[in-house]
C-alpha cells in the first residue's frame, strides 16, 4: 500500500491507494531503500523553509511590498494587497504544511531507526527536527492565526480541526524548551554533509550553533507575546541569557551553492528571470537617504548595499529614488534592488544576529534582565547589520554618532527607535519584518495606493482550498478569530496595539 499526497487538494488532506490482486512486492525494487534517510528530509525541509520566508516571488511572498521595501513596476496587484489572484495563501500553506512540515514529520519518524545516524547523535537529530518544526509552526500561526495543529499531518484525517492560535503558540514554547534540553553539545548532529544551516564546523560547534538558534527563536517568540503575557515573556527571554548568538557568524542562514536549482530565490527573480519587476519603495529609500523619517539628515551606510542607483539618463548619475507602492513604476527612474541581493549564493536568513541584539534591547526596555543596557544592545544590533551588508565598524560608529540615530537622542519611544532599526536591519527578512512591524506598529507606513483593503494586511486570508474541502472547520476557525473573521484586517492574538 502506498500513501499518496493529493495535489490540488487541501495540503493537509491525504489519501491511500493500493494495488489489488497482485503480490505485495509489486513495483518494489528489492535493492532500493524503502524509506528516505532522515538527513535528506531535514535538508529538504531547511531549503523549503528558507526559500519560503525569503522569496521575492509575487506568487508566494509579497511581504516586501507590505513593509514597503519594494514597489512594483509592471504588475502592481500584489502591492495593492491582492492575495487571491495568484492564490498566495494556498502557496504559503502548501509550502509550509505539505512540503516543509511533512518532510520534518517523516524525518522525526525515521530518525530512531535510521542506521546512518549514530545512536549517540539521535537525541541531537530529534532536537534539530523539533526546532525546525517549532519555527515553521510559529510562522504559520503568525501568518494565519488559528490553524490545524493537533490533527494536522494525518493521512487518515482530510478535515482536521483548527486549534486556537494562543494555545498553539504556548505549546510551541513548551516544545522548544524540551528540544533545547535534548541537545548534547559533546555529540554531532548525525546528519553529516546534509546539514545545511551550519555546515563546515566541528561536530560540537555545529550542535552549539543549533543551541544558539533554538534560544534565539525562544527570544523572538517571547517578544512576540510580550504584550499579552508579560510575565511568561520575561521568563522565556531571561532563560536565553548567555545562550544566544554573539556575532554575525552565528546567524541562522542557508548559503546556497549557486547551481540551479539551489540558488537564492532572489537571484531567480532578479537575475535568472531577466525581469525587472521591482524597484525600491520611496518611503524606505527616502528614510535611508535621510530625506524623510526619524533619521532625517543622516544617510544610512546600507543604502548603496540595499539598492543600486537609478539608471535613467533623466536623473542625475548616482541618484537613489523609490517608487510608489501600489502603482506601476519606472524601471529606470527608480532604484533597483542592490547587486548583493542578486548573488546566486546569497544566504537566506532565518534569524540574524542584528535581530537578536535589537530584540534584547527591547527586552531590557520592558524590564527583563538580559545583561547589558538597551543602548549597548541597540548599538550592537545596528553595527551587526551594517557589517552584515559589507559596511565597516567606522561606518557604524559614524552613523550611531548622529543625534537622530543615537539611542539616547533618536526621536520616539523605545518601540519607535527599535522598531525603525528592525525595519532597516530586516530588509532581506521580509516575513520576520512583517511580524515585527505588526507587533511594534512602527514605522508608521502609509496605505498602498489603490489598495483593495483599507489596511495593510495584519494576517493572510485562509486558503480557498480549505474553504472548499474543510469548510466546517474553516467556518469555525473564521468565527473564532472574532467579529471580523477571515479578514486581512483581523489582528492576531499577540497583536494588541
Give the contacts of 78 (CB within 8 A, at least 6 positions apart).
58, 62, 65, 72, 86, 88
Q: What is the pLDDT of residue 34?
A: 52
In a domain, 79, yes or no: no
In a domain, 247, yes or no: yes
CA-wise closest residue to 472 among 120, 46, 161: 161
Are 223 and 233 in contact by the 8 Å Cβ rule? The answer is: yes
In a domain, 99, yes or no: yes
In a domain, 148, yes or no: yes
Cα–Cα–Cα angle for 337, 341, 342, rounded to 5 degrees: 95
In a domain, 156, yes or no: yes
Q: What is the pLDDT of residue 205?
A: 81
Task: Enter the C-alpha cell of residue 44.
Answer: 529538504
Task: Enter the C-alpha cell of residue 395.
Answer: 561606518
* Count of domains observed in the chain: 1
Long-range contact set of residues 109-114: C-beta below 8 Å, sequence gap at least 24: 110/35, 110/36, 110/37, 110/38, 110/41, 111/38, 114/37, 114/38, 114/39
Over residues 428-445, mean pLDDT: 98
pLDDT in tens, 5-59: 333 344 454 433 344 444 444 454 444 445 689 999 999 999 999 999 999 999 9
pLDDT in tens, 148-205: 999 999 989 999 999 999 999 999 999 999 999 999 999 999 998 898 999 866 777 8
Give the contacts of 94 (CB within 8 A, at least 6 positions apart).
11
pLDDT higher than threshold 80 for residue 333: yes
Q: What is the pLDDT of residue 12?
A: 58
Domain span including residue 188: 1-67+84-255+466-471
Q: What is the pLDDT of residue 402?
A: 98
pLDDT higher than threshold 90 for residue 441: yes
Q: What is the pLDDT of residue 35?
A: 65
pLDDT higher than threshold 60 for residue 416: yes
* SS3 category, 57: coil
CATH assignment of the domain containing 46: 1.25.40.390
pLDDT higher than threshold 80 for residue 109: yes
CA-wise closest residue to 400 among 419, 422, 378, 416: 378
Beta partners for 307? 337
Q: What is the pLDDT of residue 36?
A: 84
In a domain, 398, yes or no: no
Give this prediction's pTM.
Answer: 0.94
In a domain, 211, yes or no: yes
pLDDT in tens, 223-270: 999 999 999 999 999 999 999 999 999 999 999 999 999 999 999 999
Beta partners for 252? 351
Alpha carbons 452 and 489: distance in angstroms, whole number: 12
pLDDT higher than threshold 60 for residue 424: yes
Which is it for strands 147-148 and 70-72: parallel, antiparallel or unpaired? unpaired
pLDDT in tens, 340-377: 999 999 999 999 999 999 999 999 999 999 999 999 99
Tell me phi and psi for residue 356, to 5 degrees. -60, -45
More confident residue, 20 or 214: 214
Report the Cα 210 to chain-centroid distance in Å.
17
Cβ atoms < 10 Å from Cβ of 163 = 19
**Which strand (E) or helix (H) includes residue 305?**
helix 303-306
Burial class (CB in 10 A: 0-12, 13-18, 19+), 96: buried
In a domain, 279, yes or no: no
Amino acid at each position: 500500500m502506498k500513501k499518496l499526497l493529493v495535489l490540488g487538494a487541501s495540503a493537509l488532506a491525504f489519501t491511500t491507494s493500493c494495488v489489488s490482486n497482485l503480490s505485495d512486492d509489486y513495483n518494489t525494487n528489492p535493492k532500493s531503500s524503502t524509506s528516505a534517510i532522515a538527513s535528506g528530509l531535514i535538508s529538504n525541509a531547511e531549503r523549503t523553509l528558507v526559500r519560503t520566508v525569503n522569496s521575492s516571488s509575487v506568487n508566494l511572498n509579497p511581504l516586501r511590498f507590505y513593509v514597503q521595501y519594494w514597489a512594483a513596476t509592471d504588475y502592481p496587484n500584489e502591492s495593492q494587497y491582492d492575495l487571491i489572484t495568484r492564490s498566495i495563501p494556498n502557496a504559503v500553506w502548501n509550502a509550509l504544511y505539505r512540503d516543509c512540515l511533512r518532510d520534518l514529520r517523516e524525518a522525526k519518524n525515521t530518525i530512531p531507526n535510521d542506521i546512518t545516524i549514530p545512536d549517540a547523535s539521535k537525541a541531537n537529530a530529534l532536537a534539530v527536527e523539533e526546532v525546525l518544526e517549532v519555527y515553521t509552526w510559529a510562522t504559520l500561526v503568525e501568518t494565519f492565526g488559528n490553524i490545524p495543529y493537533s490533527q494536522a499531518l494525518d493521512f487518515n484525517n482530510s478535515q482536521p480541526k483548527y486549534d486556537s492560535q494562543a494555545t498553539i503558540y504556548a505549546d510551541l514554547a513548551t516544545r522548544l524548551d524540551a528540544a533545547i534540553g535534548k541537545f548534547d553539545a559533546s555529540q554531532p548532529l548525525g546528519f553529516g554533509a546534509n546539514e545545511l544551516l551550519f555546515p563546515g564546523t566541528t561536530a560540537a560547534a555545529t550542535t552549539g550553533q543549533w543551541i544558539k538558534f533554538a534560544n534565539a527563536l525562544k527570544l523572538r517568540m517571547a517578544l512576540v507575546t510580550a504584550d499579552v503575557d508579560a510575565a511568561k515573556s520575561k521568563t522565556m527571554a531571561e532563560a536565553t541569557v548567555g545562550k544566544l548568538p554573539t556575532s554575525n557568524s552565528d546567524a541562522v542562514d542557508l548559503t546556497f551553492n549557486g547551481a540551479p536549482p539551489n540558488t537564492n530565490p532572489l537571484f531567480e527573480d532578479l537575475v535568472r528571470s531577466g525581469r525587472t519587476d521591482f524597484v525600491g519603495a520611496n518611503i524606505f529609500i527616502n528614510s535611508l537617504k535621510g530625506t524623510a523619517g526619524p533619521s532625517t539628515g543622516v544617510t544610512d551606510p546600507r543604502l548603496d548595499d540595499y539598492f543600486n542607483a537609478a539608471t535613467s539618463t533623466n536623473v542625475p548619475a548616482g541618484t537613489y529614488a523609490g517608487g510608489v507602492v501600489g502603482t506601476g513604476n519606472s524601471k529606470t527612474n527608480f532604484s533597483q534592488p542592490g547587486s548583493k541581493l542578486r548573488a546566486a549564493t546569497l544566504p537566506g536568513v532565518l534569524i540574524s544576529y542584528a535581530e537578536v541584539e535589537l530584540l534584547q534591547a527591547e527586552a531590557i526596555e520592558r524590564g527583563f534582565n538580559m545583561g547589558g543596557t538597551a543602548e549597548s544592545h541597540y548599538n550592537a544590533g545596528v553595527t551587526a547589520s551594517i557589517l552584515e551588508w559589507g559596511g565597516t565598524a567606522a561606518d557604524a560608529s559614524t552613523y550611531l554618532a548622529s543625534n537622530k540615530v543615537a539611542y539616547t537622542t533618536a526621536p520616539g519611544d523605545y518601540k519607535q527607535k527599535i522598531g525603525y532599526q528592525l525595519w532597516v536591519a530586516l530588509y532581506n527578512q521580509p516575513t520576520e519584518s512583517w511580524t515585527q512591524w505588526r507587533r511594534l506598529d512602527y514605522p508608521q507606513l502609509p496605505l498602498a495606493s489603490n489598495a483593495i483593503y483599507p489596511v495593510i494586511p495584519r494576517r493572510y486570508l485562509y486558503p480557498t482550498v480549505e474553504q472548499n474541502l474543510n469548510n466546517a472547520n474553516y467556518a469555525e476557525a473564521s468565527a473564532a478569530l472574532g467579529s471580523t473573521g477571515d479578514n486581512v484586517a483581523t489582528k492576531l492574538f499577540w497583536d494588541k496595539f
